[in-house]
Amino acid sequence: MSGAGETVRRHRFDGGDGHAQGPQAGDRLLASGGALPFLAAATLPPGCELVLLSGHTPPVIDASVPADSIAAYGDTFAQTDGTLGELQRSLRGLGLTMGDLVQLRVYVVGDPALGGRMDNEGFSRAYARWFGTPEQPRLVARTRVQVAGLVNPGWLVEIEAVAVA
């Protein structure tokens, strides 16, 4: 991991403070088991460079179906995992790692298979594969929003990011 990310102060949510936002509002644990790894805030050191990454979207996983269909990109879990993989490739191209990320803005479309509700569990399971793991222990502050749609009707997920260099 690069050095700049190591000087960032990462402030975890503290479940004992009575704060009614974030994971305390019922989003701390995955239904399938395990805690969700994200921060209340990140404090950046003076003089650090911010890298603002444009929205990243999922790669095609099935080219045999129309490119504007959900089937071309997979469910929310597959799309989140693929989108984070695309984000990782962009970071590598800049000499950065996933550990240099400090914030994510996540746009999730409601899944027609779930009656138009976003698949929070699918998103969270994929997200937990990339953050707070033994391989990549750093966490990020994040915002997740359900949106009516994205540019490609097959996309269920788009992620913007902020990293430190």
DSSP string, 6-19: GG-EEEE--GGG--
Task: For tokens 């190591």, name the residue.
Answer: 6
- What pLDDT score was predicted for residue 34? 56
- State residue 42's pLDDT score: 87
Q: What pLDDT is attached to residue 102?
A: 95
H/E stretch holding 144 reads strand 141-147
* Paired tokens of 2: 């690069």
Per-residue tokens: 116: 């138009």
Element (H, E) at 159: strand 157-164
Looking at this protein, which amino acid is placed at residue 84? Answer: L
pTM: 0.84
Residue pair 161/103 in contact by the 8 Å Cβ criterion: yes
Q: Please list the pLDDT of the chain residue by residue as tens digits (165 residues).
A: 445 556 888 887 665 554 444 443 445 545 555 556 667 888 888 889 999 999 999 999 999 999 999 999 999 999 999 999 999 999 999 999 999 999 999 999 999 999 999 999 999 999 999 998 999 999 999 999 999 999 999 999 999 999 999
